Amino acid sequence: MAIKVKKDLLFKTINEIAAMYRKKEISPIEVTEATLERLDELEPQLNAFVTVLADEALIQAKKAEEAFVKGRDVGKLYGVPVSIKDIFNTKGIRTSLGSRIMQDNVPSDDAFVYTALKEAGAVVFGKTNMLEFAYGSVHSDYGQCNNPWNVNRTAGGSSTGSGSSVAAGIGFGSIGTDTGGSIRVPASFCGIVGLKPTYGTVPRQGLFPLSRSLDHIGPLTRTVIDNGILLESISSIQLDYDSVFSGEISGVKVGVIHALTESITHPEVKDLTSAALYRLQQLGAESIDVTIPSIEKAEEIAIPILLSEASSYHQQWYPHREGDYAPSTFANIKEGFNISAVSYLSALDQKRKFTEAVNDCFNQVDVLVCPTVPYPATEKDPSFEDGNIDISVRTIPFNISGHPSITVSAGNATAENLPVGFQIVGRYHDEATVYRVAHALQLASGGYIQPPL
């Protein structure tokens, strides 16, 4: 295939690829080979992968091709190349967690999501780069993962490689984790779709935890429909595609979170957020201002929980392995040991009360919305050690409350040509409505836009 044909192929939707497989217009082997070639071409600039599973992927692709040749009835993901964050156990395959401490870690079991993807027939071709232990800092052994819109900017973390690779056409989706925004931030920075489902929707077996109370697993894709396909494969959720993805949202009540929207100072983020709201209104949605008490200070609830729970997983290495951590990761772990039991339990109680306050909002609206991140991609990943926690002010509230939350691109800031994310939050276990609104907005905004890389 010519280079342009290969690139165009890699930016198709999952449904389009699946249809081509069934018509025998192209084979899973060809698509997998094209994906691996694209990875090789861009990896020096992006640094999106820790481990590439080329041989394993081609074996999976060959099995998928045989299934299509025989006319077997298979699912939407069959033969479709996808990746997973290098935080999920893969039996016999290194799982590094972006850390020096785990650089030689080879698990003896598979994570639930890895097993689920293989059972769905997906071609898992690589494990993506990430911030160390998903904890807000990149380790120098692995290096920063760069943004395909501008390789001098970060892809956003902690699911860095998942966001960067999917945006660049290296795979049709990826599975990441989100404890304070680690799916939604890279999705926002890279101009793709990232969902943090309802807490507990995707089983966490085989995931190295950061915070048991805040950790979520979810998909990153280029389109909202693709996101739903991936979510179905790793959870018990089943979507009615005709109704959910109809583009029809007339009568939907959209609650604009006043404190998280009016506080935006970046002029283009502000303008793009306003434009996204206007599109929803043009589609027939009703916009209502919503106030959630103290939501802009939600990190004060999350941080004692996150720090203390994270440190509990690192007792075996603390403090004698200090030199093997990135300095800011170690600083976070050290701080976690200073959190008192009283502070931790108080934060859990505040978490319950905050969750009730978010739930109350859904008595008057169907979804909540606000910007995802207050600015486009930065040069480096902001860290808690530097006091740069504003990046998660709009995402971490919904890790605390556990509500499903998606980011979809609101367009690009023209000054730097970098994507800006728009966040949509729904009721517990109502991913369908979240998807419905996100899909309508993505359609109204012109669909997915490819980066220049």
Query: Which residues are designated catalytic?
Result: 85, 158, 182
Q: Is the peptide bond before 96 cis (omega within 30 degrees of 0)?
A: no
> Considering Cα of 60, then 61, then 67, then 72, what sign does the dihedral take?
positive
- Asked, as a colleague might, if the bond just before 319 is cis with ω within 30 of 0, I would say yes
CA 248 → CA 8, 237, 283, 441, distances in Å?
29, 21, 7, 10
- Name the H helices within 138-257: 160-167, 184-190, 224-234, 241-244
Going by C-alpha positions, the residue among 216, 221, 196, 195 that lies closest to residue 204 is 216
Type of residue at 316: Q
Report which of 109, 207, 122, 194 is spatially closest to residue 159, judged by C-alpha positions.
Answer: 194
DSSP per-residue letters across 35-97: HHHHHHHHHHHH--EEEE-HHHHHHHHHHHHHHHHTT----TTTT-EEEEETTB-BTTB---T
